[in-house]
Amino acid sequence: MGPGAFQSNALKLNLTDSKGTCLYAEWEMNFTITYEATNQTKKTVSIEVPDKVTHDGSSCGDDRNGAKIMIQFGSTLSWAVNFTKEASRYVIHNITLSYNTSDSTTFPGAVDKGSPSSSGLPGTQLCRLGLASNSQSSICLCFLSVGTKGMHHSAWLPLIVFFTVNDPEKFEVPMDVIFKCNSVLTFNLTPVVQHYWGIHLQAFVQNGTVSKNEQVCKEDQTVTTVAPVIHTTVPSPPTTLTPTSTPMPPPAVGKYNISNGNTTCLLATMGLQLNITEEKVPFIFNINPATTNFTGSCQPQTAQLRLNNSQIKYLDFIFAVKNEKRFYLKEVNVNMYLANGSVVSLCNHGCPGTHSVDQAGLELRNPPASASQVLGLKAFNISNNNLSFWDAPLGSSYMCNKEQVVSVSRTFQINTFNLKVQPFNVTKGEYSTAQECSLDDDTILIPIIVGAGLSGLIIVIVIAYLIGRRKTYAGYQTL
C-alpha cells in the first residue's frame, strides 16, 4: 500500500443498458484537504468516502458522447471522472473533486472567505487560476449584489473550490479491456491530495459483459532494471532474504483490524513468513508487524486485507463467501522487490536516512555499496485468485496456532503462525467462536493412535501364527 494505513470503503458501480453492463467500476479512494482556518492558520482534514453515496449524473456514453462517473457524498462533496473514445482505445481523464468549505462539519473553523462590500457589479465572478503538478485548479469566489428599495447590499457567496486533475498520465486502455491497479495512485494538487487504489474499471463495455482481458497500471507491473544514482554516504547493508539452510526464528505476530465506518468488519492476527524461490534458490523473509502498514475493505461477498512496508509494495489477502454459508481465502497477491536473491528495501519519497531515487520515482533505502548489486533490480510479482484456504462457517472465525503453509505458486509460499482471522460478521469488534484447523485438532490423534496400535497388534498375531505353523509342520516325519 501507499503512505500510511489508508482507510476507505470500496465503491462499486455497475451501469447497464439494453445489452447489459455498459460501465463497470470498483475502486477505493480518499482525500486529504488543507484549508485556511481562523487566526491565519492551516488545518488539514482527511475525507473518507461513506457507505452510502449517490451516482446522479453517471452515464455510459456512446460513440458521440463520453462516459462519466459522478458520485455525491456528505453535504457538499462531489467527485467525477470522464471517459472518451479514441479510435480503438478509451481514455480515463479529468478527475474532478468539488467541496465547500462553508460546511463547518467537514471543515471546522474554516475562515470566512467572503465579506460584505459595496463595490462590484451584480453577477461579478472573480476567479484565480493557477497551475500545480502539471494540473489545473480553479478557485472561484462569486460576488452577488442585491438591490432593495434603492439601497445596494452586497455579499459573498460561500467559497466553493473546484479541482480538476487534467490527465496527469492520461490512462489509455484498449477497448474491451478492463483496467486494474492495486497500487496507490496519488495526485498531489495543492491543497488537495487524492489517493486511489484497488481499481477495477472498464468503460464502453462491449456486448454487455465485463471483459476478462486486463491491463494493469505501470505501478503494478514488473520492474526489470533500474539504474539509481548511489548516494556517496556509506550505507548500511540491505535487508536480505535468509537461505533455508539457515534456521529462521518464527515471525512476530501482528494484529490487523479493518473498519467500515466506526464498525470493525475484519479481524486478523497472525505471524507471517514468506518463502520465495528465486532461480531455484529458496529464501525466507519474516514480516515485522511493527514496521508494516495495513489497509483493507469489507463488502457483503468479499473482504480485503492489504499489507505493505519498505520491502513489500503490497501483500493482499482477499476473502470470499462460498454458498452463502462459509468464507475462505480466495486470493493472494504480492509485489516486492528483489536484487540478486535479496529483498530490497523500497519506499515512497521521504524515506529517512540514506537513499537514492530511481527512474521509476521509487527510493532505495540503504542501497548496497556496489552499484552492480542494484542493477537488475526487479519486482517479484505473484497473483493467484483460485485458492481455497482458511475455510470456516460465516459467523465464526478460523484459527490455526501451528505453522500452516499457504501455497500461492511454485515459487511463493506463506507460512502462518498463531493464525486467527474473521473477515465477515464481526460482532462488537471481537472474534467469534473459532473453527480450528486440522493441525490443531489433537482429538484426531486418538483414533489414529488406536488404529495404529490395533494394526500393529494384528500384524504381530499374524506373524506369530505363521511362525507357529512352520514349526509344527517341521515336527512331523514323512512315512
- Please state which of the ranges 263-267, 373-377, 381-385, 424-428 shows the lowest mean pLDDT: 373-377
Within a domain: residue 34?
yes
Q: What's the confidence (pLDDT) of residue 440?
A: 60
What is the arithmetic mean of pLDDT over 43-56? 85
Residues paired with 99 in a beta bridge: 161
Last residue of a domain, one of 202, 219, 236: 219
Residue 413, domain extent: 222-436
Distances in Å between the Cα of 261 and the Cα atoms of 6, 10, 264, 265, 266 are 13, 11, 8, 9, 12
Within a domain: residue 62?
yes
What is the arithmetic mean of pLDDT over 254-282? 90
The verdict on 312 and 209 lying in the same domain is no
The verdict on 335 and 384 lying in the same domain is yes
Within a domain: residue 451?
no
Within a domain: residue 6?
no
Within a domain: residue 332?
yes
As a whole number of angstroms, the distance between CA 449 and CA 20 comes to: 59
Question: What is the CB neighbour count within 10 angstroms for residue 203?
Answer: 27
The verdict on 240 and 312 lying in the same domain is yes
Could you give the count of Cα atoms lying within 13 Å of 84 in the half-sphere of its Cβ?
7
The verdict on 276 and 349 lying in the same domain is yes
* DSSP string computed for 38-50: GGGEEEEEEEE--
The verdict on 215 and 233 lying in the same domain is no
The verdict on 196 and 254 lying in the same domain is no
Within a domain: residue 170?
yes
Question: What is the CB neighbour count within 10 angstroms for residue 238?
Answer: 19
What is the arithmetic mean of pLDDT over 379-395? 90
**pLDDT tens digits along 102-123:** 888 888 888 865 433 333 333 3
Q: What's the confidence (pLDDT) of residue 342?
A: 54
Q: List all residues 6 or more positions away from 457 whose beta carbon is below 8 Å from its beta carbon.
A: none
- pLDDT of residue 400 exceeding 90: yes
Mean pLDDT of the residues in the chain: 74
Radius of gyration of the chain (CA): 30
- pLDDT of residue 411 exceeding 70: yes
* DSSP string computed for 440-458: T-GGGHHHHHHHHHHHHHH
- Give me the percent of the chain exceeding a pLDDT of 90: 32
**pLDDT tens digits along 156-215:** 444 444 444 444 557 889 999 999 888 788 887 778 888 888 899 999 999 999 998 988
**pLDDT tens digits along 320-367:** 999 999 999 999 999 887 755 455 554 433 343 333 333 333 333 343
Last residue of a domain, one of 436, 452, 470: 436
Within a domain: residue 346?
yes
Give me 406's grid cell: 499457504
Of the pLDDT bands very low, low, confident and very high (cuts 50, 70, 90), residue 46 is: confident
The CATH number for 172's domain is 2.40.160.110
Within a domain: residue 361?
yes
Distances in Å between the Cα of 15 and the Cα atoms of 54, 72, 116 are 13, 16, 45
The verdict on 313 and 412 lying in the same domain is yes
The predicted model scores a pTM of 0.47
What is the arithmetic mean of pLDDT over 453-473? 79
Total domain count for the chain? 2
As a whole number of angstroms, the distance between CA 304 and CA 295 comes to: 8
- pLDDT of residue 240 exceeding 60: no
Give me 28's grid cell: 477505493
What is the arithmetic mean of pLDDT over 139-162? 39
